[in-house]
Amino acid sequence: MSNNGVVLIVVDALRYDTACTHMGFMQHLVERGAAARYEVRSEVPSLSRPLYETILTGTPPIIHGVTSNATVRLSNQTSLFHLVKESGKTTAAAAYYWVSELYNRAPFNHFADRIQLETDFPIENGLFYFEDHYPDSHLFAEAAWLMNEKQPDFLYIHPMNVDDDGHKFTADSKEYRNRVLAVDAILSLFIPNCLAQGYDVVVTADHGMTSDGNHGGNTIEDRHVPMFVLSRQVKQGIKEGIVSQLQVAPLVCQLLEIEPSEEMVPLLLNGVRTKKEA
């Protein structure tokens, strides 16, 4: 593995305010000068499949055309997976099956596509689940296996249990808040392993969750999500203001030291150091 690998973790439906109040380990990293914290506003519609595509290509739905969860097709954009491969680096993902449908094969075959190893697809090594209640603990164990055995330069991880409990019990429920606590506990074990292996880590979300137990709209609860960044290339601390979700993809390119796609917006993120500063 190169010395500038990146792990991008997208916690489905993690609201910004709940992340701030219930992710004690992540806040510890911020307070102790190990991480930066940003408030990110997602694109709309604040739905999962459109925003997976936005995060991974740096383009809005009006450009990439994935405007609904019912849009089942391969991406027509240049994703981070494509860019990483084109630069001679390697890719892997432990993620929900919609990610495979966007970048590897569509539609997803539950029997053939669950495990995809040593492929020529943009996601070279992928472990994909297809039940929303698939345990986050199992998913991170699979991600750890990918990291240790395949040593990818870019590893994408996408747990779903926060979203699942949000839909079942609403964002105002103890179940939703406790699930955020549980993800934070997993991250407290997983992130130190990433850092020990030389990875930068970005933790963010696709969208939030409302008191109605849903998302898709234009409220702060629907759209505002966190982004924690652990990298020597980004100054630590809590950053003021609200950041566009379109900044995630160019940030990952910067951390990986690869060229962004022509469709991505310029990286204008407060706190990103120049190469000389880093």
CA distances to 23, 75, 170 from 178, rounded to whole Å, are 10, 34, 12
pLDDT band with cut points at 50, 70 and 90 for residue 1: very low
Q: Where are the alpha helices (DSSP H) in the chain?
A: 16-22, 24-31, 48-57, 61-64, 80-86, 97-103, 136-150, 161-169, 174-196, 220-223, 248-256
CATH superfamily of 6-132+139-239: Alkaline Phosphatase, subunit A (3.40.720.10)
Identify the DSSP state of 112: T
Which burial class, exposed, middle or buried, applies to 162 when counting CB atoms under 10 A from its CB (0-12, 13-18, 19+)? buried
Mean pLDDT score across all residues of the chain: 97
pTM of the model: 0.98
Q: What is the rounded CA–CA span in Å between residue 40 and residue 205?
A: 9
- Averaged over 62-81, what is the pLDDT? 98
Write down the pLDDT at residue 2. 43
Residues 186-229 have pLDDT tens digits of 999 999 999 999 999 999 999 999 999 999 999 999 999 999 99
Q: 3-state DSSP helix/strand/coil percent for the chain, to nearest 5? A: 40, 20, 45
- Averaged over 149-174, what is the pLDDT? 98
Of residues 8, 211, 221, 11, the one with CA closest to residue 123: 8
Residues 180-190 have pLDDT tens digits of 999 999 999 99
* Prior bond of 107 cis (ω within 30°): yes
Write down the pLDDT at residue 275. 64
Q: Provide the residue ranges of all domains of the chain, joining segments of one domain with +.
A: 6-132+139-239
Direct distance between the N- and C-terminal alpha carbons of the chain, in angstroms, rounded to an integer: 20
